[in-house]
Amino acid sequence: MPTRSTVHLWVLKHKDFSDQYARARELQMEVWSEEIIEIADDAASDKFTDANGNERVDNEHINRSRLRVDTRKWLMSKLAPKKYGDKVDLRHAGEGGGPLKIEIVRFADVKAG
């Protein structure tokens, strides 16, 4: 198995390898998205029976599952932001989506008070 630095060097030097590496990363995102669903749907260990026979919620397991999901989502948003990142709309618009209304106010027109 090559070292991480060797792989990064190959990505920079070899077009074919770079293309294969990019496709492998895309597939990795698909695997993570499937894992997110599996983790979220798996409630098998969310409860346990204590020594007295009482059913209890296993908050540690639930929190660990949340962390596993959130970690995958965070990595996906950083490695493939266009596909998995939050959509940020930076467009400016006026009322009803129309153009912005610009009003020029001169200092002399502003009354003190």
* pLDDT for the residue 112: 58
**What is the DSSP code (8-state) at residue 87?**
P
* pLDDT for the residue 109: 60
Confidence of residue 68 (pLDDT cuts 50, 70, 90): very high
All domains in the chain, ordered by first residue: 4-88 (1.10.10.60)
Buried-state track 58-90, b at ≥16 Cβ within 10 A, e below 16: eeebeeebeeebeebeeebeeeeeeebeeeeee
Non-local CB neighbours of 29 within 8 Å, separated by 6+ positions: 76, 79, 80, 83, 84
